[in-house]
Amino acid sequence: MVKVCVILGGGGHSRVLIECIQASGCAQIAGILDAEPASWGQIIQDIPVLGGDDLLSEMLIRGSNCFTVGKGSVGDADPRRRLYELGLKNGLEPLTVIHPSAYCSTWAKVGPGGQLFPGSIVNAGAGLGCNVIVNSGAIVEHDCKIGDHVHIATGAKLAGAVHVEAGAHIGIGATVRQGITIGECAIVGAGAVVVENVPSAVVVFGVPARQHQKVAM
């Protein structure tokens, strides 16, 4: 069966996502839905923004059978989680998107709706939950366990057996030492070097990374 995909959410993240889908040939793109009315009617890399999320059931009738989340997360995974759950609620299948230049070991597991962007690496024994982003050039080493809705940003590096719990955000260029646990909804700042476990719902940054505040929930 041909996969016909709706992208939920526009913006910069969706640009790279569109390229990944087209380069991999994993699906046809039916269009983009976005909650922001100002974006309706815009064209993002030849793909139209058709309207709001209320059109999702209509897209299903028109022949769309899968979805992917076109929004990234900058320290807040909740919008991505809500869009993912919206797609499921409307009976669409989450599309897993892997760019041809990404490397994913045959001994790794990428959950439903996962996105592996150009130059990313997911090595043997790693397990990714649903709706996870491994952004351009990021590395997830062997035996890492990544929870649902996690965003591993551009160029971040997770050493072996790192555990990242659901909803956490690993910032651009961050490095996480082997065996570390990053708690649920925690934020690791850009360029941080994490050498100790990070509690849930806190923000850490610096070299070495230190806790600076709690995440507003």
For residues 141-162, average pLDDT: 98
CATH 2.160.10.10 residue ranges in the chain? Answer: 98-205
pLDDT at position 210 is 93
CA-to-CA separations, 71 to 22, 107, 109, 162, in angstroms, rounded = 17, 28, 22, 25
pLDDT at position 126 is 98
For residues 56-72, average pLDDT: 93
For residues 35-54, average pLDDT: 94
For residues 20-47, average pLDDT: 95
Q: How confident is the model at residue 214 (pLDDT cuts 50, 70, 90)?
A: confident
Q: How confident is the model at residue 212 (pLDDT cuts 50, 70, 90)?
A: confident
pLDDT at position 215 is 67
Angle at 76 between CA 213 and CA 44, to 5 degrees: 145
pLDDT > 90? residue 75: no
CATH class of 98-205: mainly beta
d(CA 32, CA 47): 7
The pLDDT mean for the chain works out to 95
For residues 49-65, average pLDDT: 93
CATH class of 4-94: alpha beta
Tell me the whole-structure pTM to 2 decimals. Answer: 0.95
Query: 86-126, pLDDT tens digit by residue?
Result: 999 999 999 999 999 999 999 999 999 999 999 999 999 99
pLDDT > 90? residue 193: yes
**Whose structure tokens read 């790192």?**
162
Q: How confident is the model at residue 216 (pLDDT cuts 50, 70, 90)?
A: low
Q: Which of 159, 156, 150 minimizes the C-alpha distance to 173?
A: 156
For residues 36-50, average pLDDT: 94
> Among all residues, which ones are annotated catalytic?
142
For residues 176-188, average pLDDT: 97
Cβ atoms of 148 and 131 within 8 Å: the answer is: yes
Q: How confident is the model at residue 186 (pLDDT cuts 50, 70, 90)?
A: very high
pLDDT > 70? residue 217: no
CATH 3.40.50.20 residue ranges in the chain? Answer: 4-94
